Structure 1
Amino acid sequence: MSDDGSTTVLLVDDESALVSLYSAYLEGRYEVRTATDGEEALSIADESVDVALLDRRMPGMNGREVLRELRAAEIGCRVAMLTAVEPTTDIVDMPFDDYRTKPVEESELIGLVEVLVERASYDERSQEFFALASKKAALEVAGETSTDAYEALCEDIESVRTDLDGHLDAVGAEAAFSDLA
């Protein structure tokens, strides 16, 4: 979140009518920046962006390429792919935080932004866990569960969950004995 407490959302979609609609949903709650192509999105993306909502399929630079460039530029925003493209196992290696298939209603879009803003306060390993869980859920909804990539994703989730559980156990033990120190 920005230093002044406001949240900045970057909304990127090549359908200008959809950009207008989603922008109307979000304005008044968040500072909204809009772009109708990938190059424009990258020209207005900076460290003040908290959440980016990216369409996957755009002419020129697609959402996957925009995502790659945001990560390469080390812009630390949370990213959701907001797209009409049904997910396949190609999403497993994409470094986004959530995946939603359009269309989305106003309450779903606002809820998505709120969840992503909340996740930004989590430690890196917890953020990784939720990003992996989002990919797993998207693949399950799409019926893409009979692949090696899906199985590897499930294994990654278990590994991260085990690490998090171990960390929570250690923190709990420290807290339990902190009065004795």
Structure 2
Amino acid sequence: MSANPHVLVVDDEPDLAELYASWLRDEYTVETAHDGPSALEQFDETVDVVLLDRRMPGVSGDEVLEQIRNRGTDCSVAMITAVDPDFDILELGFDAYLTKPVGETALKDVIDRLLRRSDYTDTLQTFFSKLSKREALMAEKPQFQLDADERYQRLEAEIETLRQQSESHLAELDGEDFEALFYRLDS
């Protein structure tokens, strides 16, 4: 995630997209798009969060979401829509679902939660990668060689730092976020 998170607001109602953007500009880099093709044109790897209207004429939010996911980025997507959720949402790859009307506080809260989840996921993936390296070395090298190697000692220090960061991130997530995160990691 970038130092100043990048949010793309996509809604076919320009006034609503601009209202959301005005609420967010003090804290985030914000772009707006008013249809699916424009959203896909503006979307790139720098976008951290997409706020996506589900029902738009032409290319729907569902289609935009599918194309975003097909690009393989780790961006979070919140569907913001007047459509009440039904079982069809089980097939969609969004990270949060908000039903309109959405207020400023709710909008900022969902973005903050999604950014925290992203931080936690990145930290956790790095942590597990380092653990795998340690396990491989431990299976092949005697302990005295591991203890004497500076690179291994750095690895151990990195693992401890990542463990602490993971615990810190985990403490920030509430029960709902924690559960949603593990569903996302499991998919």
TM-score, scaled relative to structure 1: 0.68
What is the DSSP-based 3-state SS (H/G/I as helix, E as strand, rest coil) of the residue aligned with 1:9?
A: strand
Asked whether the 8 Å contact 2:113–2:177 carries over to 1, the reply is no
1:9 aligns to 2:7 (yes or no): yes
Q: Which of residues 63, 75, 80 is equivalent to 2:61?
A: 63
- Deviations 1:10-34, CA, capped at 9 Å, x for gaps: 1000001101110111011100011
* Residue in 2 that maps onto 1:82: 80
**Residue 131 to residue 54, structure 1, CA distance change in 2 (3 Å):** farther
TM-score, scaled relative to structure 2: 0.66
AA of the residue aligned to 2:46? S
Asked whether the 8 Å contact 1:78–1:96 carries over to 2, the reply is yes
Asked whether the 8 Å contact 1:10–1:49 carries over to 2, the reply is yes
**Residue 132 to residue 71, structure 1, CA distance change in 2 (3 Å):** farther
What is the DSSP-based 3-state SS (H/G/I as helix, E as strand, rest coil) of the residue aligned with 1:92?
A: helix
* Residue in 1 that maps onto 2:41: 43
- Deviations 1:65-102, CA, capped at 9 Å, x for gaps: 00000011112200100110000000011111000001
Asked whether the 8 Å contact 1:96–1:131 carries over to 2, the reply is no
- Deviations 1:101-160, CA, capped at 9 Å, x for gaps: 01111111111111111110123899xx849749xxxxxxxxxxxxxxxxxxxxx96xx6
* Residue in 1 that maps onto 2:108: 110
Q: Map of 1:18-167 to 2, 5 A cutoff?
A: 18-123=16-121, 130=177, 133=180
Indicate the structure (1 or 2) with the bigger Cα radius of gyration. Answer: 2
- Aligned identity (percent) is 46
The count of aligned residue pairs is: 134
Root-mean-square deviation (Å) = 2.4
What is the DSSP-based 3-state SS (H/G/I as helix, E as strand, rest coil) of the residue aligned with 2:23?
A: helix
AA of the residue aligned to 1:43? E
Asked whether the 8 Å contact 2:8–2:32 carries over to 1, the reply is yes
Asked whether the 8 Å contact 1:84–1:103 carries over to 2, the reply is yes
Which blocks of at least 5 consecutive residues in structure 2 are unaligned?
A: 125-169, 171-175
Instruction: Tell me which stretches of 4 or more aligned residues in structure 1 moved more than 2 Å.
Output: 122-126, 129-134
What is the DSSP-based 3-state SS (H/G/I as helix, E as strand, rest coil) of the residue aligned with 2:41?
A: helix
